[in-house]
Amino acid sequence: MSEEKRRFWAYMIVGVLALISVSTYAYNEYYIYLSVYMWFGFVYGMCLQYGRFCFSSAFRDLFAVGVPRMAVGIMIAIALFGLVGAFVSATGLSTFHSAPTSFHAVVAGFIFGVGMTFAGGCASGSMYKTGEGNMNALLVVLSISVTQAIFVDIGGWTNSLVPEAWKASALTKGLPASITVTDGWVDQYLAGYVWDQPVMSFATMLGWTDKSYIGAFIGNLLIGVVIPGALLLVIVYYIWSRKTYMRKNLPKDQAAPTWRNELAGYWAMISASKRTAIAGLALGIAAGLHMYAIQGLRVKFGMRNAGALLERIGFDFGLSAQGTVFDPGYWYVTTQEAQWVGWLFHRLGWNHLDNIFFGWVNGIPNPAFNPADWMSIALFGGAAVMALLHNEFKFKKPTLETATWALMGGALMGIGSRLGLGCNVGAFFVRVSQGDPSGWLFGLGMVGGAFIGVKLVNHWTERRMAQQFAASKI
């Protein structure tokens, strides 16, 4: 594709999104709420593509090829999102709510971690790669979407796998008759187990509130994010970066490194990939501002969930039994992916409003009016614009082998994200940044999953490479 054509398509994408924003706002001012989601999604897409920002790479490349650049970039993004988030939280405008904390987050993260290694990208990474024209990544997105929509409504024989205690506890939650809480494994897992787990933050564990300055900045940011993040990077530095730095930079007449050398090496690791660090910086700031903007609009329009806006506009199909739709107020990926498939299945006759995930919490609004879907579509667009402007856009057709990896990985990520109530973004990036300990548990699981996933992928590539060496007589 010539440079003129690439520029044309990049401007076309921006123009179409701008036209959607302007025309819908002219029709009804409430659409600005959806447009805010859309433009933040666009920025996320640009940042992710620019920095090749992939959470899968952060964990996987450490084990696979000993490269720490993405782990560093993600910690920078988390710290900056945490800083902006602490300010938003202390001013009482945060849209964030901690998730239940228990061992389930580790198990969910583990399954998700294996999946993202197989798929070659995490949930958000697969989205920006789709924007680069990678159809393998699109298969991953489709696999995550379909798997989630099926998984959250699957009942039948899976009901026999539910512990009696979960079933009994689920029945006490007072859910309306439209939600068949004892028919569905995920329903009973959520209402009978997850909802019974403690909800906390580092601030509340220390006796402060999330909305106080001391709770937000000392509890959630310093103790919950900065200190553990810096310590983790020290581990990464000692295992994966220190040896190379000292080999290159330690004077030959110096026997052992000093503290000054160690600090210089640590800083060199952090500043090694400027591109990733810049993307992490922009991503962290954007994610924090996103919360601020959405909460501001909620105050302006006098509502707490986009379901109320959709009703006012006249689109009340697919709202949950509480009149809500999925409206996190910050960056999220997998729930809206499940929603459009849930909406489609429901339209085709499979009732998807009788389960907790859709029917009680998130709804299945028409994707054309779903705020979070606007964010995801624009994320594809932002990544495509950045790839087009940097001559990195290329349509890539899947092969049988790559499609198999994509579908398997996507399915595992879909299951992991529903068990963990989110993906690498919602269950890890956002939660860790906002001082929710369950985010660290999900991350711990992801590290374990990535380690096992790399072992399995390595076994496969070893075999393929041995065949090639034999054919080349090397």
Partner 1 sequence: MKFEKMTEGQYRLDVKGYVCPHPQLYTKKALEKLSPGETLEIVFDNPSSGESIAVMCDNTGDEITEQKLDGGMYVWHIRKA
Residues 232-261 that bind partner 1 (CB under 8 A): 244
Q: Which range, of 143-151, 301-309, 356-364, 394-402, touches partner 1 by CB under 8 A?
A: 394-402
Q: Is 199 helix (H, G, I), strand (E, B) or coil?
A: strand
Asked if 136 touches partner 1 (CB under 8 A), the answer is: yes
Q: Nearest-CA neighbor of 261 among 248, 271, 276, 279?
A: 248
The closest of 233, 223, 220 to 288, measured between CA atoms, is 220
- Choice from 396, 408, 444, 452 touching partner 1 (CB under 8 A): 396
Closer by beta carbon to partner 1, 27 or else 469: 469
Stretch that binds partner 1, among 90-98, 289-297, 372-380, 387-395 (CB under 8 A): 387-395
Residues in contact with partner 1, shown as a per-residue x/- string from 266 to 305 under the rule CB under 8 A: ------xx-xx-----------------------------
Residues 6 or more apart whose CB falls under 8 angstroms from that of 297 comprise 32, 33, 36
- Work out whether 132 is an interface residue with partner 1 (CB under 8 A): yes
For residue 298, the one-letter residue type is: R
Interaction between residue 469 and partner 1 (CB under 8 A):
yes
Cα distances (angstroms) measured from residue 5 to each of 77, 134, 186, 205, 385: 33, 19, 47, 55, 12
- Looking at the DSSP bridge assignments, the partners of residue 100 are 199
Q: Which of 137, 308, 419, 432 binds partner 1 (CB under 8 A)?
A: 137
Main-chain dihedrals φ then ψ at residue 396, nearest 5 degrees? -125, 115
Closest to 210 (Cα-Cα) out of 226, 224, 231: 224
Q: Indicate whether 129 belongs to the interface with partner 1 (CB under 8 A).
A: yes
Binding of partner 1 at residue 458 (CB under 8 A)?
Answer: yes
Span near partner 1 by CB under 8 A; candidates 19-27, 181-189, 207-215, 397-405: 397-405
Binding map of partner 1 across residues 14-53, x = CB under 8 A, - = no contact: --------------------------------------x-
Q: Which amino acid would we find at residue 56?
A: S
- Of 77-85, 114-122, 196-204, 288-296, the window that binds partner 1 (rule: CB under 8 A) is 114-122
DSSP string, 19-38: HHHHHHHHH-TTHHHHHHHH
For tokens 């593509």, name the residue. 49
Query: Is the alpha carbon torsion for 446, 449, 454, 460 positive or negative?
Result: negative
Segment 398-437, which members bind partner 1 (CB under 8 A)?
398-399, 402, 406
To partner 1, the closest distance from the beta carbon of 372 in angstroms equals 25
Nearest alpha carbon to residue 418 among 168, 123, 136, 177: 123
- Reference 461, options 64, 56, 62; nearest CA is 64
Rank residues 6 and 352 by Cβ distance to partner 1 and give the closer one.
6
Q: How many residues bind partner 1 (CB under 8 A)?
A: 53
Query: Contact between 64 and partner 1 (CB under 8 A)?
Result: yes
Min. distance of Cβ 430 from partner 1 in angstroms?
22
474 near partner 1, judged by CB under 8 A: yes
Q: Which of 60, 104, 298, 346 is close enough to bind partner 1 by CB under 8 A?
A: 60
Listed in sequence order, the DSSP H helices in 121-272 are 123-131, 135-151, 164-171, 185-192, 202-205, 213, 227-236, 242-249, 259-270
Nearest to 114 by CA among 56, 70, 68: 56
By CB under 8 A, is residue 346 in contact with partner 1? no
Residue 201 CB-density burial (10 A; 0-12 exposed, 13-18 middle, 19+ buried): buried
Q: Pick the piece of the chain touching partner 1 (CB under 8 A) from 76-84, 298-306, 341-349, 391-399.
A: 391-399
Burial of 232 (0-12, 13-18, 19+ CB in 10 A): middle
In whole angstroms, the minimum distance from the beta carbon of 237 to partner 1 comes to 13
Residues that bind partner 1 (CB under 8 A): 1, 52, 54, 56-57, 60-61, 64-70, 117, 119-121, 125, 129, 132-134, 136-137, 244, 272-273, 275-276, 387, 391-394, 396-399, 402, 406, 454, 457-458, 461-462, 464-465, 468-469, 472-474
